[in-house]
Chains A and B, each alone.
Chain A
Amino acid sequence: MAMAVAPSRPFDYLESLPGTTFYKLYQQPSTALAIFRRMLPDLAKCFVMALLYLKDPLPATDLEAWVKAESLKERDNALSILGRLHILSNTVITDNVRAYKVTDPFASSLRQALTGAEKTQSFGVLWHISDGAAVSIAELDEYARRQWEGVLGYMVGTSGLGIQRDANLSKGVKQLLQAGHLVEIRDRRVEITQDGFAFVLQDVSTQVWHILMLYVESADAIGMSSVEVLSFVFLLSSLELGKAYDKKHLTSNQLRTLTDLADFGIVYQDSPDASHFYPTRLATTLTSDSSALSNPISGSLSGPSGTGSNKAGSGFIIVETNYRLYAYTSSPLQISLIALFTTLKYRFPNLITGKITRQSVRRAIEMGITADQIISYLATHAHPQMRKHNVSRSTSNQAGIPPSVLPPTVTDQIRLWQLERDRVKATPGFLFKDFVSLAEYEAPCRYAEEIGVLVWKSDRKRMFFVTRHEQVAAFLRSRK
């Protein structure tokens, strides 16, 4: 777990870009900083920093000697990631010695980010605002929460189980969700897909990245340069919460992006023509790990609305070993999410209780949710009391296995209920039968086994079942 920090989606997208795009991307120091922070494993960061201020390339043997022999796998992983992101390049110096060098736009941008002397306004330009008119952080959080829950509620509400929400989202948002296969239009009703379920059950940081990547991918379709959008996204990630930023240095494409992102609650502006905008917490924590995000944001997104950021973590779900579930929330979105896989019993102003039953889990699985998604959702939003209890339980556990936050009985049982659906496994294929004699049956059967397509055979009934029939049929014809 310590190695792969990057969520795979933005990383895969970046990998698919051609080298020239990277050249343009890395001109901005904020981009270089964001990619450095978020996409690289620890060892890769050490490599980059060590090579950043060297004048000459470092011979490859020196770099390899620096890493311990046991950590070969991590080293190769780090080097390959750096290569794929065009950060590290192989050169050859005198005497045909292979050497590594940090590629140039990235190196100079990162250096500028560290020392802070460049001409571009890559870190945003502050907008001076008088105190009375400034928007407070609490208001920004509230806005972000409302918008984000609106989007998620739109997705979940359409599955028919949750509470219906007013569909007052902009057309762009709906189009984006549809383009990303998170919802589907079927018979003029909007329904959530399996990808959509996976999406809503993830933690907020992954969700935000997912949406942003969808937006970047669809940028070309709308007529904007994806590079520009991407670098704007990275610029947003380096801004500070609670401060207003000037819009006059942004290009028209960036302004358009700003408006679209405001619909999601990632930035806030008073009106599309306002001269300044505010990034919300969703934007400023883009380059953080999800645990840093869970502290204030999910607290305000999923906790009882109206409370400020609570100090002690932000989970709100307690799962007992008798499968009962208590969730201290009153947000309709969270309630409908929980209702997807539990049977709710009581609802109080600040608490809902329910039970995880076989029927509820089977219902969820039929809709397309996997057991792993349910378990990771519960673990991400586990109440701090469960974490504390977990730590104190772990002291009496001598085997050295890191315990999970949820009771093991519950997690195992959810997986077992999922497995129940797999009792019958269907394999499509072709059945060969009605052979006249045993000898005639044996030969193609053996041939099918040799080429590896045989799935089942019965000598008594003289039938066999294969996945692919062409070769067996050709064999039979050739024998005749």
Chain B
Amino acid sequence: MTEVIVWEGWVGGLVIGAYLLFQWLVTGKTLGVSSGYNSVCSMVSKTDYFHKGIFGEANNWKLWFILGLPLGGFLSAVTSPGDVVMSFSLGEMYDSVFPESLWAKGGVLLLGGIMIGYGSRMAGGCPSGHSIAGMSMLNPPSILASVGFFVGGIIMVQVLFGIL
């Protein structure tokens, strides 16, 4: 698995907070990732939900934003000291509780992904839109959603590492 350089928490947070403000300053657009997946769905589905507002056209800024994210990950990997390794490893902790078979492991990740996708649409956002941008605006629903994200995460991981 690729090992990337990780900054101290407060340094990373400071820089991400600065990024949030930089994006607002330059583009006027609020940071948010999860609705970008609507663009992907709009390419294969005629369902009205995926064609509202900026998603009337699949080619919109949110799509370009999420296409940039893997490039950023790649850039981070190649500028870290170790080799860039393509691997299905999930790191020490998750590998210790997940099934070893690739397809079973993939099935668990797929299920996790479905919950992430469905849950973020129900909640109207993910940690970038609710917890970083939303809490910066001191928006009460975003604060509530952020608490919900953490409670859900704690429940799942405590069960995963406690009982399994």
- Is A bound to B? no
Which residues of A are interface residues toward B (Cβ below 8 A)?
A: none
